[in-house]
């Protein structure tokens, strides 16, 4: 800028004006460059080349008790709902035990709810207290109208009925505790029956059946495998420098190659690993994708673009 001014050699005032105009032009250009850089940064994306679609929910459903498999209610490929029966283990003995426990509980509940003895004891106490009160009032009005021995008997009768009422109350409390104990026994017996039902832990599809009717199974033995493909995760790795704290929750676009054409699906980043791979310098991330239409399959390779 100084060289230009020296070459044209303007008068002092003109030179100053010319320098100010040139400086303003330089500042404006710098501002435009910064704005362009900011816009480019705002529109920056992260491209993840090697992405694999994986399951979010899968389970090897085990047998919880030993016994003979009496039925297998599903087949491979069948969709099931959470809690639906998949297979049944022989439960004849525990079912009989549960029926007996239920009968004992009903007996204990009937005893706990029976308050006849308590009500009779309280009524007897009221009557004896009324008799004693009348005798006392009679003596106050007419001395020696009631003998001392009769008064003592009535006082003793009041004490006796009071103790009987307390005893009836205590017995009812004990009966309630016994009923609660029988309730626990019934719950445990019913749990033994339930544990012989192999049920679906979540909505999904049966992909493998390991047991057959008539086979013996042991606790922990795999019975069926169930997967849920309604939601999948697209898992990949990004450079540690790009795995910023605000990456979680970002919108992604996942492209999956299928028969020569690419289909795109929207998703959201839900996991950013706090660890950096010391060899690759990358961070594992995965996005959750809606797959209720069943167009995607676990194990497929894909590419993912994360919008910053």
Q: 223: how many CB neighbours lie within 10 A of its CB? A: 21
DSSP 204-262: EEEEEE---TT-EE-TT-EEEEEEEEEEEEEEEEEEGGG--GGGTT-EEEEEEEETTEE
In this prediction, residue 27 carries a pLDDT of 45
**pLDDT attached to residue 52:** 94
In the prediction, which pLDDT does 30 show?
45
- CA–CA gap between residue 148 and residue 15 (Å, rounded): 136
Strand partners, 237: 284
What are 284's strand-pairing partners?
Answer: 237
pLDDT 10s per residue in the chain (308 long)?
444 444 444 444 444 444 545 455 544 544 454 444 443 344 468 888 889 999 999 999 999 999 999 999 999 999 999 999 999 999 999 999 999 999 999 999 999 999 898 889 899 999 988 988 988 888 888 887 888 888 888 889 989 989 999 999 999 999 999 999 999 999 999 999 999 999 999 999 999 999 999 999 999 999 999 999 999 999 999 999 888 878 889 999 999 977 556 688 999 999 999 999 999 999 999 999 999 988 899 999 999 998 76
Please list, in sequence order, all residues whose beta carbon lies within 8 angstroms of the beta carbon of residue 78, skipping any fewer than 6 positions away: 205, 206
User: Which pLDDT score, from 0 to 100, does residue 110 have?
Assistant: 94
Strand partners, 233: 54, 288
Q: Which position has the token pair 């010391």?
A: 278
Residue 31 to residue 28: CA distance in whole angstroms: 5
CB neighbours (10 Å) of residue 129? 15
Contact 300, 279 (CB under 8 A): no
For residue 222, give Cα distances in angstroms to 87, 210, 219.
12, 7, 9
């Amino acid at each position: 800028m100084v060289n230009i001014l020296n070459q044209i050699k303007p008068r002092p005032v003109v030179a100053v004006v010319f320098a100010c105009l040139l400086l303003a032009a330089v500042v404006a250009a710098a501002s435009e460059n910064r704005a362009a850089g900011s816009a480019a940064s705002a529109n920056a994306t992260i491209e993840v080349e090697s992405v694999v679609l994986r399951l979010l929910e899968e389970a090897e459903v085990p047998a919880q008790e030993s016994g003979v498999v009496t039925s297998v209610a599903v087949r491979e490929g069948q969709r099931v709902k959470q809690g639906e029966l998949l297979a049944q283990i022989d439960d004849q003995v525990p079912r009989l035990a549960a029926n007996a426990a239920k009968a004992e509980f009903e007996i204990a509940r009937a005893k706990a709810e029976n308050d006849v003895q308590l009500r009779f004891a309280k009524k007897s106490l009221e009557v004896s207290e009324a008799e004693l009160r009348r005798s006392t009032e009679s003596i106050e009005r007419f001395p020696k109208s009631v003998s001392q021995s009769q008064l003592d008997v009535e006082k003793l009768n009041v004490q006796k009925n009071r103790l009987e009422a307390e005893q009836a109350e205590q017995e009812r409390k004990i009966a309630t505790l016994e009923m609660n104990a029988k309730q626990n026994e019934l719950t445990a017996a019913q749990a033994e029956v339930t544990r012989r039902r192999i049920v679906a832990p979540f909505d999904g599809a049966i992909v493998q059946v390991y047991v057959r009717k008539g086979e013996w199974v042991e606790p922990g033995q795999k019975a069926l495998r169930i997967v849920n493909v309604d939601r999948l995760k697209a898992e990949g790795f990004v450079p540690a420098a790009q795995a910023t704290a605000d990456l979680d929750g970002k919108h992604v676009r996942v492209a999956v190659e299928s028969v020569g054409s690419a289909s795109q699906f929207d998703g959201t980043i839900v996991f950013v690993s706090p660890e950096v791979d010391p060899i690759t310098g990358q961070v594992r991330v995965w996005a959750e994708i809606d797959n209720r239409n069943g167009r995607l399959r676990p194990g497929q390779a894909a590419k993912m673009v994360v919008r910053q």
